[in-house]
Structure 1
Amino acid sequence: MTDPDWLAALLRDEALPERFAAEVERLHVPLAARIAAVAMGPAFVVGLCGPQGCGKSTAVLVLRRLLEARGLRVAILSLDDLYLPIEDRQALARDVHPLLRTRGVPGTHDVGLGLAVLDGLAGPGRTAIPRFDKAADTRAPSESWPVVEGPVDVVLFEGWCVGARPQPDKALAAPVNALERERDPDGTWRAHVNAALAGPYRPLFARIDLLVQFLAPDFAAVLAWRQEQERKLRARLAAAGPSGARAMDDAEVVQFVQHYERLTRHIAAEMPARADLVIRLDADRRSTNL
């Protein structure tokens, strides 16, 4: 049983609803225990893969608190914070395919930076953890990056395609949605994404010591979760008053998630057979098998 004072503080500090306490007991406490039982530091890398909106970011915050309560030193690395700066993606859009300007898919991350961070966290000394400014759509200034003193015991490495493997080439032939049919008719973009997984991303994902997959019930749930995220963002922006920032409406989210649909579906079909732990979620993002 989790310390009720600790749990109450967690819910308050992270602005989580009271009902989330049940999910902490059902999912996060046993998951933290499993990680602690197998973690052989330094920098034991736990890869947490899950589709957009499934709750990965909250999960790693809770897991860090639980693991630190066990006396472990923990660092968090998000794949999102490894996005290439806008000027690099503009160059990819010009030289390879226009869709590569949009951050997210393999080929739009700085894999070398990710490997350097993992190396740093495994040894003594200070390691700066990258931060990406999504509002500005580029990397945050390095002086604003948080610094972690190493070596750490556990790295929680989370992202929507963390640990993904490439598709067979023949699977790339048929488009999976309107975006691919209309904006990638010859398959150049999806071939580039697949080649990135087969090449540059392999050494980064090979650093994962324990692979945890959050599995959505279907792609319709992923879309609904992403739309819910954007509605909350719209509400926050409206409460903050007029600004230059804006959130997508539901129709725009439908278009946006098409960038990630192919790989999201592929991961859901391929990864469960090899992940160390698969956490099946219902439409309300509650775990159903732990």
Structure 2
Amino acid sequence: MKDKDKKDLIKDIIEYSIELRLPQIRKYIKDNIEDAVKNNLSYEQFLHVLLQKEYDARIENGKLNRIRIAGFPAKKYLEDLKVEELPKDAQAKLSILATLDFIKNGQNVIFSGPPGTGKSHIATGLGIRACMQGYRVLFITVPLLINQLKEARGASILRSFELRFEKYDLVIADELGYISFDKEGSELLFTNLSLRAGRRSTIITTNLSFERWDEIFLDPVITAAMIDGLTHKSYMVNMNGPSYRMKETKEWLKKQKEAGDFLTEEDDRKTN
């Protein structure tokens, strides 16, 4: 086959790969052909290599897209946690939660404790791991969720919003308890979390004990029903303990000071 024919064939392959949405083949076809010739691959082996690379890239892109769409405020991984510095109850339950079996079983997880103890970090880490394993995840603060529900009702698209909300494998509702709600907000939140109960998983992070939930829902009936629905067959994680975030901040400040002292010593040596 003439060189010109080979070039035309490669050009056609690239065009076909664009139409068929096969970006890995389009980008690396020349390199793959060279490797196939060098390693004396059979036609079957060559085709296997092309498809495997395309498949692997799609799997990886799918993970990244799910993480992006989930809306995490920051990328925090379970692997980054200093488990020994977490509250005792979190240490005891983290390995179980990390399996993500609670998502398979449609169970909820509630992290309750003061600010800075690692609630949102653990919740985000679980959410990112879920994205990596193919689950559809939404991360949203409770105040923002209520605002979106109200806006959807005002625009007469509440049911379509609710249908999307129900379909997430995992919803992480962060910061329950920092802001109280009016009656409409309480009812909307209760309705939409109830629709997921027993079928889809929800993670709640809150700074309030259950005894104080009536401070934000302002309705004892809704409060009791909300607690009953969320806690049924759920994992309750007591996050009371020293501030995990404060420890991280102190360590960071220590490193900055050490780096500053080192630079000062270097400057002194240069001056002398």
Q: Same fold (TM over 0.5)?
A: no
Q: What TM-score results when the alignment is normalised by the length of structure 2?
A: 0.37
Q: What TM-score results when the alignment is normalised by the length of structure 1?
A: 0.35
- Higher helix share goes to which structure? 2
Q: Computing the radius of gyration over CA atoms, which structure comes out larger, 1 or 2?
A: 2
